[in-house]
Every structure is written in structure tokens, then in C-alpha cells.
Amino acid sequence: MAIPKRVLITGARGLLGTPTTTLFRAAQGVEVSAVGHLEFDITDEAAVCRHVDAFRPDLVINCAAFTKVDACEEQHALADRVNGYGAGIVAAAAAAHGARLIHVSTDYVFDGQATRPYREDHPTGNPRALCAYGRSKLLGEQRVAAAHPAAIIVRTAWVYGEDGPCFPRTILRLAGERPLLRVVSDQTGSPTYARDLAGALFELARTNAQGVFHVTNAGQCTWFEFAREIVMQAGLGTPVEPIATEDYPLPARRPKYSVLDNGRYVTTAGRPLRPWREALSEYLRRAS
């Protein structure tokens, strides 16, 4: 299937939206409207409808979100408004104009009690999401599915990249400031490089797929293992010590295990994303 010719990308100035915009703009014959939150408030239904009506996209990619997980605990109403109701507004506008939709969600919709990678059909539901961020993103999934039944919903995890605050950037900074890093070792997931995730969105845009997809870089690790790999690949000598989640309390509860089964994406796209260590190497080369 050919790539859509008119693509609207929301959240286009963010960690994922920036490389997604770059990738689609590089595609021959594709016109892109890339909007950030300052010029495109996804919670303003009238403004969203006006923009969609004026641009008339063939595809909408919703990367816009309130992603500060701990801040969502105190600002849960804002999280619900942006991640939940705003996502639904974008979905409804896309559906009204006959545009396809790719909406980006999160592993935090799960409770972390699984012992093997989560499939797309694993039960979610508000009692299962552990934090306000996860519940707001689950609300968004529900409202997107109701407003645009043919939408693609991409759940991903532990996203990092050059275009915003992220875990590797923080670790690199702290490794230069502290004699020792202490990082939790009892939460397991899959680090996902934003450039690779943008590529997966591009691949899905070229299909007639619908429904939920899990997309991360291949492999899994703990936050401690991720931090240790960052320090090692960066050639830094700062020691990294494993600790328990209880030793590093944060406002929002995180799932202990949130590895996502990428099987459906692999079947659709024909190949998985590369291993997370390989993706990290590229990030560090670009960030240096």
C-alpha cells in the first residue's frame, strides 16, 4: 500500500514527533502538517476540527501526550484531558474526514503482574493500570477506539531519543556528576529508540492494518541493566549499583514487568525492530 499523501502529525516537536516528522517529510510526494502543542491544542475540539478541515489529511499520527509520569499523579485531571479526551477529539476529527489514524499509547496500561510479554489482547482496564498516567492513556485508547474503530493504536515503552528529556540523557549527565549511580533493578521492560519507533509508524502507515500493535526494540532489560549499558557504551567509569523500587520512591507506581510481545507487528511489517543495545549505540553516537 502506498504511503498516504497528506499527513498530519500532532505532538510534532516532541521526543517521538520530531523524528516521525523528519521521516515523513523525507518521503517523496508526501505533504506534512507538523504541529506542536503551542499551535495545536488537542483538547480544543473546535480548533482541532478547523485544522483537520483546512488541511484535509489522509493520515493523522497522534504523538501528542502529557508524558510526565510522576506529574500526572498530581495533575491527573490534565492527564485525562490531554491523554484521554484530547486523543478522542483527534480520533473523531480524523474519522469525520475519512482519514486514517495512528495513535501512540504505552505499556503503562498494564499492571506489571505478567511473567511473559504482553500480547495486544491481554486484559487492561482501569483497575489494572497502576498510575494516573497509565489510566489516562488507557482512557485515550478507549476513546480512540470508540471514535475511530479502524484506527491503529501503537503501544510502546521506555522511549528515548535526541529530541527531549529521556533516561539515557539523564544517566549520562548523572554519571558525570556523581561517583556512584543507584538504579532500580526490579522493573523490566524494553527500551525503545524514538527513531526506530518512528520508522515503525511509517511502516504501519503503508499497510491497511487496524487495531492494537505492540512496538518496541527487541529484547528486554531492567532499568539498572539499561543504565549500566549506557555507561559502558559511553566509555564512562562510573559504577552502577542495583537497588529495589522501594529504595527509590516516586509518586507514580510503575509496573514491575511491562515487556510487550511484538509478534503482530513483526507479522505485519515483515521484521522486528533491531535489538535495544544496537539502537542505544546509534543514540549515543548521535548524542555525543
Give me the CATH number covering residue 43: 3.40.50.720
The pLDDT tens digits for 140-162 are: 999 999 999 999 999 999 999 99
DSSP H or E stretch at residue 10: strand 6-10
Q: Is residue 102 part of a domain?
A: yes
Active-site residue, selected from the candidate residues 85, 108, 118, 133: 133
- Strand 159-160 with 192-193, pairing: parallel
**pLDDT of amino acid 125:** 66
C-alpha to C-alpha distance for 69 and 166, rounded to whole angstroms: 12
Helix (H, G, I), strand (E, B) or coil at 158: coil
> Per-residue confidence at 2, pLDDT binned at 50, 70, 90?
confident
Inter-CA distances, 281 with 20, 32, 226, 285, Å: 20, 30, 12, 6
Give the mean pLDDT of 234-260. 97
The pLDDT tens digits for 167-217 are: 999 999 999 999 999 999 999 999 999 999 999 999 999 999 999 999 999
**pLDDT of amino acid 127:** 67
**pLDDT of amino acid 124:** 84
Q: Is residue 89 part of a domain?
A: yes
Please, are residues 88 and 143 in contact by the beta-carbon 8 Å criterion? Answer: yes
Domain count of the fold of the chain: 1
Q: Which domain holds residue 101?
A: 6-165+192-217+259-274
The pLDDT tens digits for 250-271 are: 999 999 999 999 999 999 999 9
Q: Is residue 104 part of a domain?
A: yes
Q: Which residues contact 128 (CB under 8 A, 6 or more apart)?
A: 109, 110, 111
Give the mean pLDDT of 210-234. 99
Q: Cell triple for residue 144?
A: 480512540
- Strand 221-222 with 59-62, pairing: unpaired
DSSP H or E stretch at residue 240: strand 240-243
Quick check: 58 pLDDT over 90?
yes
193 tagged catalytic: no
Quick check: 46 pLDDT over 90?
yes
**Cα angle 206, 48, 43; round to 5:** 110
Q: Is residue 279 part of a domain?
A: no
